[in-house]
Structure 1
Amino acid sequence: MKKSIFLFIFTAFTFCAFSQKVKYYTVQPGENILDIIPKSEMYEYPAFESGVVYFKNGKRSASKLNYNFVYEEILYISTTNDTLTIANPEEVKYVSIGKDEYYYATNRFVKLDTIIGDVKLGIAGFFATVSKRRIGAYGTTTDGGSESYGSYVVPNNAKLELIPNVVTTVAYSKALFIGNRFNQFIPVNKKNIFSFYPEKEEKLKLYLKDHKVNFAEYADIVSLVKHMNTDS
């Protein structure tokens, strides 16, 4: 099957990887990351499932859908049996796959996880660059420094254009997002939590003073949101 051109971009802001990285995968120069990561760990669902893409203009499109953690894209099977990505994700209202719902937020799709009052918590899974090591003389490697995110382009042959002479290590992680009743999601961190509750800043400050909140810990964020959702 042919694949359309995919853009795999991790944006500049920092995510909260609220669960431990599952496995590490090392990609040697010239290797295809799609051959390194097993398909069972590359997709949200074992197989493409029936789903519907709902657009903001009221239109909708039904197809076989799946979420790919490498591309951070929802893929679909076209009528010509090609595997494609949604070309205009910013025009998508939401996507349903089985009982799951996905919302487009900041260049990626977020899977709805929990609803607390008017507040929604979503999860984005992805493969992030953990480290890069440059191959030197006689096959030795030097530490090129660690970075959480990088940019990869996947052309038609699904071959990632990794940097020559650089060994890249990636790992699966998750990021937690918080959304409002309009399904507008932003990544969870201290700054964004304050921006999410502009009218309850003092209440939030008091809660953070009395509670040690790890913004990378799912349970801590759920407790915080529940408290902020009370009238007291």
Structure 2
Amino acid sequence: MKSWLLTIVFLISAAFTFAQNTPKVYRTKNGSNISKNIPYQEQYQFEEFNPGKVYFRNGRIANARLNYNLFYGEIEFIDTKNDTLLLNDQDFMDSIAIGSEIFYYLPRQGHIREIKNYGKVRLGEKQVLAVLDNERESAYNHYSATSAISNYKTFSNQNGSQWMKPSDNVVFKRKSIHFFIDKNKQFYIPSKASTLKLFRDNSKEINDYIKEQNIDFSKQSDLTKLLEFCNSL
């Protein structure tokens, strides 16, 4: 009897854990207001706009209430009129802090959150609500918008503007894209080549480790393991 109870508890716990780790998927009709179809909390990194600091390269620091918008892939702020806007002067900013979280700006990509600093290299993550189209994913980014998300007939990504038919069902899901960030805040797509370039003094040991551990550069757990190894050399 006890063994059966333990088995049931284990299955319920496993199902609950799986549900927690499974990315949420949202479906909305093209032409509808996606800000109403997707819960507000799911459109942002944080549950609310939190006090933060914007650090400029000239030493200036600006205080504001900030949050990361998963549609735009950029940080927004609330101004004195209580309007929600995207940040300007991105090229003059060094970094942005929201609580303990640090973000850096990558032109044409948006803001990248620092996951961990390994000294020579930081591991960064860009999280977005991605559009799924026939199992292909592309980030929904509309950088020129500074007001609430409204009706749309196109979405913009790295491939430019993409038209969708008015009857299309649009499917959104959270997606994470990772980056290596060096001391000069230069960004690299994680790969064997970029890793060996960043740690060229230990290229042989790292090359062997990548082969032995069968590192998957699309997995955060593997990237963390790899950077911990590189940092130990």
- Shorter-chain TM band: 0.7 to 0.9
Change beyond 3 A, Cα 1:152–1:32: farther
Please name the residue that 1:222 is paired with.
224
Please name the residue that 2:156 is paired with.
none
Summarize deviations over 1:29-67 as a string: whole Å, max 9, x none. 211222221111111111111111111222221111111
Query: Structure 2 residue aligned with 1:147, among 127, 136, 140?
Result: 136
Distance 1:99 1:122 in 2: 14
Please name the residue that 2:90 is paired with.
89
Q: What's the offset of the Cα at 1:203?
A: 2.7
Does 2:29 match 1:40?
no
Please name the residue that 2:14 is paired with.
none
Q: What's the offset of the Cα at 1:124?
A: 1.5
Please name the residue that 2:152 is paired with.
161
Within 5 Å, which residues of 2 pair with 1:128-143?
128-131=130-133
Q: What's the offset of the Cα at 1:123?
A: 1.8
Distance 2:118 2:190 in 1: 15
Count of aligned residue pairs for this structure pair: 200
Matched position secondary structure for 2:137: coil
- Percent identity among equivalent residues? 25
- Contact 2:122 / 2:181 at 8 angstroms: preserved in 1? yes
Please name the residue that 2:102 is paired with.
101
Matched position secondary structure for 1:70: coil
Distance 1:183 1:147 in 2: 30
Distance 1:152 1:104 in 2: 14
Matched position secondary structure for 1:31: coil
- Give the aligned CA root-mean-square deviation in angstroms: 2.3
Whichever of the two has the greater Rg, that structure is: 2
Change beyond 3 A, Cα 1:150–1:181: closer
Matched position secondary structure for 2:76: strand
Please name the residue that 2:185 is paired with.
183
Give TM-score, length-normalised by structure 1. Answer: 0.76
Q: What's the offset of the Cα at 1:110?
A: 1.2
Matched position secondary structure for 1:47: coil
Q: What's the offset of the Cα at 1:151?
A: 5.3
Distance 2:22 2:179 in 1: 18
**Structure 1 unpaired stretches of 5+:** 1-19, 132-144
Change beyond 3 A, Cα 1:124–1:151: closer
Change beyond 3 A, Cα 1:26–1:149: same
Distance 2:148 2:226 in 1: 45
**Structure 2 unpaired stretches of 5+:** 1-20, 154-163
Name which structure has the greater RCO, CA cutoff 8 Å, separation 6+. 1
Change beyond 3 A, Cα 1:160–1:91: farther
Please name the residue that 1:134 is paired with.
none
Please name the residue that 1:57 is paired with.
58
Distance 2:97 2:59 in 1: 15
